[in-house]
Structure 1
């Protein structure tokens, strides 16, 4: 954030003469000028204006102190080796903010259950990565399922000093309960290869109070629904909901779809899109009393990283977002599939790496991706692919994942197996490196060239390594998605909704009663 401009000494009290103030005027004795008495109405008006200015400045100061006192700040990154220092936003770069909802039942949220259900930091009920493009014209909202199984890099709780060691896999929403929001930030950073700039964490009360202040948010259901677990009770059609009903709509896992967290994510995205439309259409950002009320609610129920833990930083962030076109606010869910060890949980699909690479490249998720094709485009002079003079199934290939993305090695190893390199094995215990390399041993140059041709890896990346018994593909940060080296695109089957689209009715599969 830019610092305040300071005029040295008591420069704020110095006044400059207007440019039209001539030298002769400056030296003319005041008693030689014609004296005119100001009209009474002018004196009264001047007094009222002065009073209004003083009152306005005083009110602004009180509000600033109040909002500043409301804000709760914590460290951005709780990783064992991470940098927890506040981030200085760069207007030339994209900004990524992790938005979390905690299910803690302590404090003001105690009415939603006992502290045995969830105390301390709680678990993450909602995890959405908001990417604000570098040109400040686009926003991408990427939802992570709470049941997503991911590698855990290890964290340290800044409050207690307790260390939580790295684990092969944890359920993503549990990272918050270990070492706070900074632990969730570190965990997502590691498996996405991204660097999150900020986080915002809200509780149940924030949802209730904010939707009430907005006068309700429109949602739609195709059938009447009564969900005993969440308290959701809606008639068929469109309803404006706020307070407890808004919270129930966001929390229900039984009314829609198969009761999974993935169906709840769709409800959350539809709700956020509707709320965005309402704020834009009703001019909320230009309604000063409403804006002050919302600011008070948000800052009273929000925990942010230290880089956002001051009123000017939050105001600057709001200003960056206010002019984004609704058609350029995209909602997506990270590509996932059933977890191999437990079908009740999910894991990342290989296409997730392509999405993360698109976010790193600040790609527009609202632009449709070109249709995928496994074959090169046909041309008049195209020739059938040349079959190598060796048996691919007999060639020893090591796939070393140095991309920084957890699943990237498994993805390309499987791709090589499908191409006939059935002896390919993985090695994920390598340090991250920026560029991709193909190392080849004596008599394996042709194998390396075949693999390079398959992916479009340049010949400059091929490195002779005589001691190597085979070929080693070292996947760098320049090859983090797809099977075409150097190309970044949005996954072709990614489901993208925008805030501009009208409210769609959620299909009720369990109407309760």
Structure 2
């Protein structure tokens, strides 16, 4: 539509035709739009316009080049291996998100110098396994390490490429989860162990570590004594050192240089390395510097495999953008609590109840650096029951009873081996000394059952454990009171509360930690 023009003395004017505007000599109709009117444009304006056009075209070409290059770098694989999911895909920008980070020990291609290919059959094993948990408000990150020697149950997994089905396995090292059916099987295994549903994964090989450490100009690490590990070829002096390239990879790979030469010392060293790397990236402003980010993105994506949901440059940039402003004191590094496995002292099993407490805290999105922080938002207050009317007779309080004489049993349906003992101790601590323990089939929801005449006792036991009154139920077959603990009560002495070991956090990204050298590898 042609815009109406106001002309003197006529109010709102009628639309002016192009022909009139081009050829009229009437000044009231505005300047004639002959092509020759631009001939008088200053030279500086022409040059500026041309320069801006070149910069715009060049910038678009540069951006397009990097988007295409980075996109071509990315390899992808399925997120799961057949296990069903109950949660919808997350919004990568605004939702809480868990990313499983894996280091592959495959010896193919550039990694062949670290051993023969037959040392890593199939998809390879996970040399490093960590889960990064980013809060929805981007104010904290928890990084949970899983020891490679941890014995776990691996669910049935289907290779999404070939369709081959691998049966479930029990008591298998967690690093073997992706060996046959791929990365998705490792994701399903961690989901089964933790009760979470991982949203994404990132898997890098040996070369990624070398290239990343070179790209940032080295990472500072610290060790108590000079060491040399002939297996990984790590050689470090006592104190602080800058490692990059081969030495950075050796620092992360060594299985013998730290503590007692076991997997737990290796995990603490890996966490110390990542803490130092986080501090350096934050101090250098890397996440806010497009040129530095492009350099790192290029070297990392060349050695990275991600799930389909992360297999785009914008998705990866979204993750980086969420991390750039997080307070490093709120980046918590944790290891799954373990104990020597009963079947093999050279392997590890989850330590209970500490492991279940950690997993329950993760499921409830607890701040591991401050477990006592109040949840947000707080639940809405429930309406109180109406006061009795004057015509309603007020019931008298039931007669007092002797807690020491009341039979209470604790049935463990949580699936956590030591929970009955933990809950029984809480009941005994409340004055009920006649407490027995039972093994029960796993159930989802906790209940307190009571036999005839034990309603008041059941209510008091439920209040002691903070089990809702709606879950206190009559059951004629029960003698006394029975606390049937379910999957909603896997942690702590109070239902809904989270109990965590005081030392669950190994360190935060703000801590500078010097690793303890393995005495057997100290050099002088």
If the TM-score is normalised by the length of the shorter chain, which range does it land in?
Answer: 0.7 to 0.9
- Verify: 1:52 aligned to 2:55, yes or no: yes
1:471-490 matches, cutoff 5 A: 473-490=483-500
**1:119 maps to which residue?**
121
**1:456 maps to which residue?**
466
The alpha-carbon distance between structure 1 residues 313 and 30, as it changes in their structure 2 partners (threshold 3 A), is farther
Which string of whole-angstrom CA distances, capped at 9 and with x for unpartnered residues, describes residues 345-373 of structure 1?
22222122222222222222222669xxx
Return the match for 2:508 from 477, 498, 505: 498
**2:439 maps to which residue?**
426
Describe the SS at the equivalent of 1:293.
helix
Unaligned regions of 5+ residues in structure 1, if any? 1-15, 371-384
Separation in structure 2 between the aligned mates of residue 186 and residue 64 of structure 1, nearest angstrom: 31
1:75-86 matches, cutoff 5 A: 75-82=78-85
Return the match for 1:70 from 73, 84, 97: 73
Stretch moving more, 41-50 or 73-82: 73-82
Stretch moving more, 33-42 or 22-31: 22-31
**1:347 maps to which residue?**
349
1:86, 1:307 within 8 Å by CA — same for their partners in 2? Answer: no
Q: Offset of 1:132 from its aligned partner?
A: 0.7
TM-score by length of 2: 0.81
**1:411 maps to which residue?**
418
Unaligned regions of 5+ residues in structure 2, if any? 4-11, 22-28, 374-400
The alpha-carbon distance between structure 1 residues 386 and 251, as it changes in their structure 2 partners (threshold 3 A), is farther
Return the match for 1:180 from 169, 182, 204: 182
1:287-298 matches, cutoff 5 A: 287-298=289-300
Kindly name which structure, 1 or 2, has the bigger radius of gyration based on alpha carbons.
2
- Verify: 1:148 aligned to 2:150, yes or no: yes
TM-score by length of 1: 0.83
Which string of whole-angstrom CA distances, capped at 9 and with x for unpartnered residues, describes residues 470-513 of structure 1?
76544345423111112135432323411112353543423356
Q: Offset of 1:454 from its aligned partner?
A: 4.3
**2:413 maps to which residue?**
400
1:274, 1:503 within 8 Å by CA — same for their partners in 2? Answer: no
Number of residue pairs aligned between Structure 1 and Structure 2 = 467
**2:242 maps to which residue?**
240
**1:377 maps to which residue?**
none
The alpha-carbon distance between structure 1 residues 90 and 111, as it changes in their structure 2 partners (threshold 3 A), is closer
Return the match for 2:43 from 40, 43, 57: 40
1:429-448 matches, cutoff 5 A: 429-430=442-443, 433=444, 435-441=445-451, 448=458
Q: Offset of 1:339 from its aligned partner?
A: 1.6
**2:389 maps to which residue?**
none
1:277-296 matches, cutoff 5 A: 277-296=279-298
Q: Offset of 1:167 from its aligned partner?
A: 3.0
How much is the aligned-residue C-alpha RMSD, in angstroms? 3.0
Return the match for 1:272 from 274, 277, 284: 274
